[in-house]
Amino acid sequence: MIEAAAIFLAGVWAGAINVIVGSGTLVTFPTLLLFGYPPLTANVSNNIGMVAGGISGVYGYRRELRPNRAILVRLAPASVAGALVGGVLLLVLPDESFKAIVPVLIGIGLLMVVIGPSVQRRTAAAQRDGTPRDGADGMLKRILLTVGIFVLGIYGGYFGAAQGILLVGLMGMLLSDGIQRLTAIKNVLATLVNAAAAILFMIVATDRIDWSVAALISGGAFIGGYLGARFGRQLSPRMLRGFILVIGTVALVKILLFD
């Protein structure tokens, strides 16, 4: 019961973090590792569970999405295609490869959490100073954005920690829109990535899924996603990131020293 409660609460926290800043996987995935779940099973089950949090988060940000439907229609296929590639890579590469890569991915994700505030500050500053982003090179920027979204979709389908921060950073450099609208677009694209990978896993990798874990995270993330969208602007991102860093660091220590 203690384990189930901890996984459920981790899902709530991760769902809220994903909507607000991204990188909720760095709460749920290390939590599952701490309870002894195999890395691949933890990753696949977590991916499926986090879809529910994305759905409630997207609903909470629906107002910010209305002006950007055309952008979403253009970028959604790239996210889905990238997610399928990443999911296939996760399944076809040997388990030993994922176990070896996990500490690196967690480390990169933690680094993204640390540098995320500076990326978001630069994005917000660029929006405030009114720097024009559209011009003769508009086509090149659209191509770069689509390719970048595809690459981040691969990363999201394979692991995905801090995918949200990377998405906001990329779009902030190439789109002329406010930070809240970018966050809303990020929530849709990240949810599409999780959903596409989850469908793939449920079709061809059912043996890698712990359905009780997926259900606990799903229930928690759905609540967290709604709360994150509703109250996200009132919470301290520093507090959220601090919690992520603590959990992620503990998981790294466990993997590197005790597994």
| Integer-rounded Cα radius of gyration of the chain | 17
CA gap 184, 151 in Å, rounded: 19
**pLDDT tens across 83-118, in order?**
999 999 999 988 778 778 778 877 877 777 777 667
Q: Give the pLDDT score at 116.
A: 66
CA gap 175, 178 in Å, rounded: 9
**Cα separation values, 225 from 123, 164, 199, Å:** 23, 14, 20
**pLDDT tens across 145-195, in order?**
999 999 999 999 998 877 888 888 788 778 777 778 888 999 999 999 999
For residues 20 and 225, the answer to whether their CB atoms sit within 8 Å is no
Instruction: Give the domain extent around 91.
Output: 2-258
Number of domains in the chain: 1
CA gap 102, 185 in Å, rounded: 27
For residues 55 and 191, the answer to whether their CB atoms sit within 8 Å is yes
